[in-house]
Structure formats: structure tokens, C-alpha cells
Amino acid sequence: MVQFTLPKNSKINKGLVYKKKHNNHISINLKVYRWDPEENNNPRIDSYEIDKSSCGPMVLDALIKIKNEIDSTLTFRRSCREGVCGSCAMNIDGVNTLACIKPISEVKGDIKVYPLPHMKVIKDLVPDLSKAYKQLASIKPWIQRKNKDKNKSISSKQLMNQSPQEREKLEGKWECVLCFCCTTACPSYWWNSDEYLGPAVLLQAARWVNDSRDTERKNRLSELNDSLKLYRCHSIMNCTRSCPKGLNPAKEIADLKKAIVTEL
């Protein structure tokens, strides 16, 4: 359902301000979304002032510095710190991205950090992604092979060679790290997250639909052919705009629609 305003328990209050102790260096200001399930309060925005000269180049470095030196209760997901794992997805300076590959120098003024938009918050910058993962499972993100001749079964030892041309069809699809930056940037997904699969999952669907080793292309396409699952995409392009890996979910979705029209 379309609801433009936040529910009562999600309205954001003013938070605490942490000032720097020594005022002799250039500082960075971070405004971070905080919510603690242990307290019965609404979310708040805390403000942190940190020393630029002793901080790493990325926003994640600043968050880690805050957690180490100022406020150890600040909670966020992170792991690889180089844009490979997709854990530290959050909304920085108004656009979803990975904190570990977002340079502080790219942000003008205060750095505003929020969790991924329109998600239930577990704590601080950690959103609940379980629904998105369920949707991912629903498109069966694994190779399916069925033999046309039902008497013969395909041996698991049999090699499944892929030509360079066939492999090239997966370019721009396999690189997705499932950070769900695109899905949570999509207004269509905000209003229809129960039915619409969202760009990240549809990109994965395209990845398996276009795999030459998979025999269920037609079945996959007909399962996607649904006014809510796929056609809630209205080419708003927020997905492509926000993808930290530079992929193009909107184009993959358009290609899926085209494949459904021409092949089914």
C-alpha cells in the first residue's frame, strides 16, 4: 500500500550530539540514524564530529572510527570493506550505496547515514532483509537441468561446457553482490514489497534465465510473467542510479519483459 508518511513509531526525533574534544584539525560531521530495540523510544538522529586527519577515506572508515572511539553502541553490518560482500549497504547522502566504497570526499556538507529505505529496522543501520531473501529463494537461484528423455538422468559428473559467447550473456548479472541497494531504492518496491520482486531479485532471475546450462528458461519466464511480480517496474531507474557495482537492473528487467513477449 502506498503510504507516504512514516508510521507513528518510526517518526524521527532529535538525538545526541557528540563534539570533538580537540578542535585543532578539520572535522567531518556525521548524522546517523539510531534506534535501539532495548529502549521504548522512537528512532533518533545522532550527530558525531570526528577528526578528518586520523580517519580513513571511506564512509565505513568513519563509522568504524565512531564505533571504536566515540560510541560503541553504534550498530551496522560490515565485512569485506572492499565492495565484495554487500554487507554495509545503507543510505548515504540520500542514495543507497555500500559504505565501504563510498568516499567521504564525495559528500558535500554533513554526511547523513540512514538504513536502507522502507525496511523494518532491527537496530540502528541494520535492516531486516528476510523478506527480500525469501523473494530471492522464490525464483530458484540455482541451475536446473532436466533431461528431455525422462528415462535418462543427467549424471552429475557430466561436464556442462559453456562457450565464451554463452558466458558473455551473464556479464553484468553475475557481479551482483545482493546488497539490495537497488531494491530498497525503488519506489515501486516501497509501495508493493509484498508482491513485487524488486530489481535485485529480478536481476538474479535474469542471471538464471540467461544461463546456457539451465534447461528451464521457458518455465522461469512464465513464472515471472505476472502483473505484480515483474510488471510493477515502471522504469523509474532508481535501481540503476544507485547500484554500487555499476550494474543495470532496469535494463535486465526490460530484457526480461522483452523475452516474455517474444518467446512465450
Interaction site with another protein (CB under 8 A) = 4, 6-7, 9-10, 12, 33, 35, 37-40, 42-43, 91, 93-95, 112, 114-122, 127-128, 185, 187, 190, 234-238, 240-241, 248, 250-251, 254-255, 257-258
Residue closer to another protein by CB (options 178, 247) is 247
Sheet holding 13-18, edge to edge: 13-18, 44-51, 27-34, 111-114, 89-92, 95-98
- How far CA 87 is from CA of 31, 180, 238, in Å, comes to 20, 10, 20
Q: How far is the CB of 175 from another protein (least distance, A)?
A: 15
Q: How far is the CB of 135 from another protein (least distance, A)?
A: 18
48, 70 in Cβ contact below 8 A? yes
Q: How far is the CB of 129 from another protein (least distance, A)?
A: 12
241, 250 in Cβ contact below 8 A? no
Residue closer to another protein by CB (options 9, 68) is 9
Residue closer to another protein by CB (options 20, 112) is 112
Closest among 19, 17, 92, 13 to 58, alpha carbons compared: 92
Q: Within 13 Å and on the Cβ side, how many CA atoms surround 163?
A: 2
Q: How far is the CB of 228 from another protein (least distance, A)?
A: 19
Q: How far is the CB of 240 from another protein (least distance, A)?
A: 6
Q: Which residues pair with 44 in a beta bridge?
A: 13, 34
Strands 27-34 and 111-114, sheet pairing: parallel
Q: How far is the CB of 83 from another protein (least distance, A)?
A: 17
Residue closer to another protein by CB (options 39, 149) is 39
Closest among 90, 128, 127 to 112, alpha carbons compared: 90
Residue closer to another protein by CB (options 156, 262) is 262
Residue closer to another protein by CB (options 11, 25) is 11
Q: How far is the CB of 93 from another protein (least distance, A)?
A: 7
Residue closer to another protein by CB (options 20, 217) is 217
Q: What is the CA radius of gyration of the chain?
A: 22
Distance CA 29, CA 185 (A): 24
